[in-house]
Amino acid sequence: MSILVNKKKSLKRKEVPDSESDYEVEQDVLDILPLAKKRTSRGKKIPANIPETPIDNISFHPVFGVEKWKFICQRRLQLERELGKDAIECKKIMDLVDEASLKKSVSGFGSCYEKLVKEFIVNIPEDCDNSFCKEFRKKIVRGCSVDFSPEVMNRFLGRNEGIYMELEVTDDQICQEINAQQVRKWPVKGKLLASKPSVKYAMLYRIGAANWVSTNHTSTIAIGLGKFIFVVGTKTSFDFGTYIFEQTMKHAHSFAVKMRITFPSLICEIILSQNPNILVSSDIACKRESPISLHYKLFQGTHVPDIVITSRNETDKSTTKGGILAEMKEISKALEETIKISTIRKSSMDKLLVALSVKNGEMDKDEAVADKNDGVEGNTEGNATDNEDKAM
């Protein structure tokens, strides 16, 4: 037994390296084989095996930004999409967007520069939302100071500066509202099928998934997106400036790579409005996707029609000059096709009558030839008339 105890003790002893090379090997092994995710002093997880990224021509204000850049630069922008023509013509939806003062988040975007947005994110101090901090709600980007706060964001959106109450509503109440009482409780798995909401909320979901709330654009609605479209759809008082500010500040407190950067166009416009000459030669404007379509055919079937959508997108085009002209052209074209068909049918009928009359001996061959020629002349005159109409 004493021999076994001695062996165990000898196994627990640390071997003292004989030379400096042993220390070097041990350090190299630790660097090559990270067995677990690192943690910062505040307990944040840092993903392992993130490749180093070149930092040429990147402006860093705080020192920690240099190490954080390899995480920030890999994050994707959730680039906002313009609303299509059919969406803008849907007055009820646009009224809701205007009431929430979110029109600048769905249309009229300026250019968005990915590198500028990411440099802004990486230079956000971790304690920038601390009122005792020297740079409280101020960010330094490429040597320029940028005021970025809920108040600045609300002014940019054109919202009234006032006191906003916190949203006090349960998940089940949200579920009942956006589903027109079809579903009583929010699903246990946490996501609602996108085929369940009423037409109004189905439209808001398409807009919100592209422009307002970070999502993977799947066929389900997460609770965060559900709350957002609930607020817009019910015209509930909500501080959207604070929401956008907090969504941006999350990047200062996280080392996640898969976190999407929301509202990049709004961030760019605020930076450029305060510092118009901040762009550099390496900045390239992002290419946007096609506009968001809210065509009426997308919402036929399972969606409760709380907004009635017609093929004319709720716009009576016949009351406008352009609509009247277009409708007259359609009628003229239809009549033209009808006249052509009638002429062809009449010609065929005349030929058949002539042939039957000759066969029955009711008409001489000379009369038949004359009638046939009359029919040909009639067709020629009709074609000439059609050509004159087209020329006019």
Blockwise average pLDDT, block size 10, the chain, 392 residues: 47 47 41 42 62 75 78 90 86 91 91 92 75 66 87 88 78 89 82 85 91 82 91 91 89 83 93 92 90 76 67 45 62 60 69 74 56 52 47 44
Q: Nearest CA to 273 among 124, 161, 111?
A: 111
- In the block, tokens 């929401």 appear at 243
Q: How far apart are CA 172 and CA 236, in angstroms?
A: 17
User: For residue 390, what pLDDT is reported?
Assistant: 44
* Alpha-carbon span 101 to 231, nearest angstrom: 12
Tokens in use for 11? 């196994």
What is the structure's pLDDT at 374?
A: 56
| % helix, strand, coil for the chain, step of 5 | 50, 5, 45
Say how far apart CA 267 and CA 324 lie, in whole Å.
44
| Spatial distance between the Cα atoms of 362 and 364, rounded to a whole number of angstroms | 7
Give residue 19's pLDDT. 45
Give kind and range of the element (H or E) at residue 241. helix 240-249
* Contact assessment for residue 201 and residue 150, using Cβ atoms and an 8 Å cutoff: no
Torsion over CA: 157, 162, 168, 169 (sign): negative
| Residue 263 confidence (pLDDT) | 94
101: left (phi over 0), alpha (psi -120 to 50) or beta: left
N residues, the chain: 392
pLDDT value for 362: 56
What pLDDT shows up at residue 348? 74
Flag whether the pTM goes above 0.75.
Answer: no
**Which residue has tokens 């990270």?**
34
CB 232 within 8 A of CB 204: yes
Distance in angstroms (rounded) separating the CA atoms of residues 240 and 238: 6
In this predicted structure, what is the pLDDT of residue 331?
61
What's the DSSP call for residue 140? E
Q: What is the pLDDT of residue 228?
A: 93
